[in-house]
Amino acid sequence: MIFIPLIGLLLIGIYYFWNAKQTKQQLANHGGLSVSYLFQEHPGQYSGDRSVKSGVIVIHTSSHNQKLKHATLKRVSIKHPDLHIQLDQSLALPFHYELLPKPEVSIRYKVINKELLSLDLTGIMTTIAGKLHFEGGKTRPFQVMVPISGLYQEQSIQ
């Protein structure tokens, strides 16, 4: 009698594990993301409020699937105790197949630790979750963890 509920729980657990793994693989099957950052040099540089330290993370996209059009970002978080990202609304992130320069969007973060004078986010993990949008209206959920590659340097068109 007790085996039936245990088997049911096991099947539900396997389904959620498989679904989470599929969600993490969705982006890798169609494109890629990389993340860089900027840290303000002076308080208020980005926000205008001299009591707030902040910066931006820049998300860069690449696509190897012509049908992938864009992603809607629902959640972005940085694994750093002194930073906070408040994504107030969904953000559209364009993907363009074989386009140079690569599309990118920036998201502001706030520094919680007021004593922090400088910041190196290289290698810090960023979690990005949302939906991929394809030609024909198809969507697929995704979630990835991407390490920050370093400081943002604008790419020049060659």
Phi-psi sector, 123: left (phi>0), alpha (psi -120 to 50), beta: left
Which of 142, 111, 144, 110 minimizes the C-alpha distance to 127? 144
pTM of the model: 0.73
Q: Residue written as tokens 């096991």? A: 10
Mean pLDDT confidence for 64-92: 87
pLDDT at 91 over 50: yes
State how far the Cα of 113 lies from the Cα of 107, in Å rounded to an integer: 19
pLDDT in tens, 113-143: 877 777 889 999 999 999 999 889 899 888 8
